[in-house]
Amino acid sequence: MSSQSQIRVADAPALVEAAGLLAAGKLVAFPTETVYGLGADATNGEAVAGIYAAKERPSFNPLIAHVADLEAARGLGQFNADALALASAFWPGPLTLVVPVATGCPVSSLARAGLDSLGLRVPDHPVALGLLRAFGAPVAAPSANRSGRVSPTTAAHVAEDLGERVGMILDGGPTTVGVESTIVSCLEDLPRVLRPGGVAREEIERVLGRALPQEDAPSEALLAPGMMASHYAPRARVRLDAKYAQPGEAVLDFAAPMQAADEAPRRNLSPAGNLAEAAANLFAHLRALDETGAGCIAVAPLPTHGLGEAINDRLKRAAAPR
Ligand code: TXA
Ligand code: MG
């Protein structure tokens, strides 16, 4: 069976079939507004183990449990006032809340990597929500790529990376946000951003009515283990803040194109300099440039405000030594 053959247009019959596969302990890849997820029944430890195996992911890395609405989320985790305010403001949407696990929470401890906290998210995508409603239980889902590789923003990316390891890939077209959810921990009095993502820090601070401390990513290694320095790595080396491209380099522009040799393969994250468009294009453009076989990708400087924080974070990880 070719890896493309699991890709299914996400119509109603496909959603029912996909929910059946989840109930049988199989893996289903599905689109969210951020990136494609590799889903399994979060309450089934064996099914969750299948995610770690397919991704070749270190098993100490906890997974996000996806649910259809806040009510379902409150059955799994304990929401303090900040968590409630953030959930009300941004769900469904690209925000993951880390909260203390509720007593009797059915999410398998393997999905939580043994932690007594839980990452919860209500995705803003008709296919993801349709699947969650059809299945009726939490779905554990990391990004549907092999561990350490660029996250998938199309069904074809998932097929390339995971192929026959997935029971079905629901195709909902390219994702719109393009970077993963922002992860906010609500375990202590002061919420903390563990991973910048699709909801800008400024928007979170506005809802909370106070500023959140800026933290260095490396110190988060234990709190959000997925934040390893060399996450999101293409095969090519990545050179950041490039003003012009050197011979042989592929080019990732933002806004005005940088100077390069005529034949350099190049993509522009957003010719208009729009950060939302840049986020949506980021992973697909990195993949496309990587596939040209160039040894290095020269990346233009990007603004650091708003969604720029998440984009720069992913680029820094892609450029980290490995
Ligand atoms: O946009 C997204 O968040 C996508 C889509 C599929 O929803 N998912 C995603 O999952 O990016 P993943 O597994 O690639 O990243 C999840 C991150 C990891 O860094 C993990 O360590 C962190 O969430 N995480 C999950 N549960 C946690 C917990 N209880 N405490 C701290 N960090 C947690
Ligand atoms: Mg990931």
pLDDT in tens, 140-195: 999 999 988 899 999 999 999 998 999 999 999 999 999 999 999 999 999 999 99
**pLDDT(222) > 50:** no
pLDDT tens figures, 87-146: 999 999 999 999 999 999 999 988 988 899 999 999 999 999 999 999 999 999 999 999
Contacts of 212 (CB under 8 A, 6+ apart): 190, 191, 192, 193, 201, 204, 205
Cα–Cα distance measured from residue 220 to residue 98, given in angstroms and rounded to the nearest whole number:
14
234 versus 73: which is more confidently predicted? 73
**Which ligand ends up closest to the CA of 149?**
2
Cα–Cα distance measured from residue 107 to residue 235, given in angstroms and rounded to the nearest whole number:
35
Residue nearest to atom 32 of ligand 1 (CA): 224
Q: What are phi and psi of 169, to 5 degrees?
A: -115, 110
**pLDDT(41) > 90:** yes
Cα–Cα distance measured from residue 102 to residue 116, given in angstroms and rounded to the nearest whole number:
9
Q: Residue 315: what pLDDT?
A: 94
Q: Residue 220: what pLDDT?
A: 43
Lowest mean pLDDT among 68-77, 113-122, 217-226: 217-226
Confidence (pTM) = 0.88
Cα–Cα distance measured from residue 45 to residue 48, given in angstroms and rounded to the nearest whole number:
5
Annotate 131-163 with b (16+ C-beta within 10 A) or e (fewer).
bbebbebbbbbbbbbbbbbbbbbbbbbbbbbbb
Q: Residue 105: what pLDDT?
A: 96
Cα–Cα distance measured from residue 273 to residue 275, given in angstroms and rounded to the nearest whole number:
6
**pLDDT(2) > 50:** no
Residue nearest to atom 13 of ligand 1 (CA): 142
Q: Residue 228: what pLDDT?
A: 54
The Å distance, Cα 112 to ligand 1 centre, comes to 10
Q: Give the pair of three-digit tokens for residue 184.
A: 């906010």
Q: Residue 221: what pLDDT?
A: 43
Pocket test for ligand 1, best of 95, 96, 120, 182 (most atoms within 8 A of CB): 96
The Å distance, Cα 227 to ligand 1 centre, comes to 9
Of all atoms in ligand 1, which is nearest to the CA of residue 57? Answer: 13
Of all atoms in ligand 1, which is nearest to the CA of residue 179? Answer: 1
pLDDT tens figures, 258-267: 999 889 999 9
Residue nearest to atom 26 of ligand 1 (CA): 119
Q: Which amino acid does the sequence have at 174?
A: P
Q: Which amino acid does the sequence have at 255?
A: A
